[in-house]
Amino acid sequence: MQVEETQLQQVPADLDTLKELIVKRYDKLSHRLQQVADYVMAQPMLVAVETMATIAEQADVPLSTLSRFSNAMGFSGFSQMQALFRDQYLNRPRDYKERVRQAREQDNLGPESPMAIFQDYGTANVEAIEQLQISVSPQKLERAIALMDKADTIYIQGMRRAYPVAFYLWYALMKSDNNVVLLDDHGGMLTPMTRRMSEKDVLVTVTFSPYAPETSSLIESAFDKGVPIVAITDNQMTANGSKMDVCFEVQEGEVMGFRSLSSSMYLAQTLAVSLMCREIK
């Protein structure tokens, strides 16, 4: 049944909760409401700063659809929902610096020179990490650490470009008191290694577009077993997004089509060190 009318539910208190609600209810939304959902998930900064009329125009929906979408998410109106975006993106200190860009202009570097590429990656990574600092809430970090802390076994998995992040997290947590398993497909052992996963464990998965089918299958298998899932990904609106208990959406810096891993590594380090600090307590 498509969702159009307000339903009795708790009003999301922060942007993370709202995003998770959108992901879980997306398939039940009408086509128009899905257009709004796609827009607010893809352009949260614009939702924070633009007028209702501008957002409706850019999302290609009637103005009234924004109100219906807000109501469907439990809000009294669009302004109440927009306040979550503004609190997340406008009410936190930010420090934009253009020193790298200015240095490049002053040095008159060619676009493909090693120093230009070096500076471009530096700028892209700094901006991506700043964006991650704004988008990740304390509540989401606490939930992820809590799931990892109480798990009997922490299963970690990532394929292809995501593998270095998964490997680092496994390597770091090997120094802790946690039981940690790195899932890979060496020798075709991925399925046997996950056979004992249960609801007492946790799966930490790293996956980026184009999403590895092995990772998608693993997420579905873990979900069917009731295993909590913590994910680091580039799009919370993936097909398996609703199956993730905690989803960190990371947009990496990119230069000439080559995406970085700095933000994902930054997040993995945060998870590892935070969990080890909890052990000390």
Token pair 């708790």 in the structure block, residue? 10
- CATH number for the domain spanning 158: value is 3.40.50.10490
Measured CA to CA, the distance from residue 190 to residue 184 in angstroms comes to: 6
Q: Helix 15-25 crosses helix 78-89 at what angle (to 10 degrees)? A: 120
Measured CA to CA, the distance from residue 21 to residue 115 in angstroms comes to: 44
What value does the mean pLDDT take over residues 177-186?
A: 83
Residue 143 and residue 129 share a domain: no
Instruction: Inform me whether the pLDDT recorded for 3 exceeds 50.
Output: no
Band (pLDDT 50/70/90 cuts) for residue 209 is: confident
Whole-model pTM over 0.85: no
- Mean pLDDT, all residues of the chain: 84
Domain assignment present for 3: no
Measured CA to CA, the distance from residue 181 to residue 92 in angstroms comes to: 37
Band (pLDDT 50/70/90 cuts) for residue 190 is: low
- Give the pLDDT confidence score for residue 72 in this predicted structure: 92
CA nearest neighbour of 230 among 87, 240, 239:
240
- Give the pLDDT confidence score for residue 107 in this predicted structure: 53
Measured CA to CA, the distance from residue 46 to residue 190 in angstroms comes to: 41
Domain assignment present for 198: yes
pLDDT tens digits, 149-175? 999 999 999 988 899 999 999 999 988
- Give the pLDDT confidence score for residue 49 in this predicted structure: 87
Domain assignment present for 52: yes
- Give the pLDDT confidence score for residue 6 in this predicted structure: 42
Domain assignment present for 84: yes
- Give the pLDDT confidence score for residue 16 in this predicted structure: 84
Domain assignment present for 150: yes
- Give the pLDDT confidence score for residue 186 in this predicted structure: 66
Burial classification of residue 30, based on how many CB atoms lie within 10 Å of its CB (0-12 exposed, 13-18 middle, 19 or more buried): middle
- Asked which of 25-29, 40-44, 165-169, 275-279 is least confident by mean pLDDT, the reply is 275-279
Instruction: Inform me whether the pLDDT recorded for 261 exceeds 50.
Output: yes
| Angle, CA 170 vertex, CA 192 and CA 223 arms, to 5° | 50
Residue 256 and residue 183 share a domain: yes
Instruction: Inform me whether the pLDDT recorded for 205 exceeds 90.
Output: yes
Residue 247 and residue 236 share a domain: yes
- Give the pLDDT confidence score for residue 188 in this predicted structure: 61
Q: Per the structure block, which two tokens stand in for 111?
A: 């676009």
Band (pLDDT 50/70/90 cuts) for residue 43 is: confident
Measured CA to CA, the distance from residue 89 to residue 5 in angstroms comes to: 28
Domain residues for the domain of 203 are: 138-280
Helix (H, G, I), strand (E, B), or coil: what is residue 34? helix
Residue 164 and residue 103 share a domain: no
Residue 209 and residue 110 share a domain: no
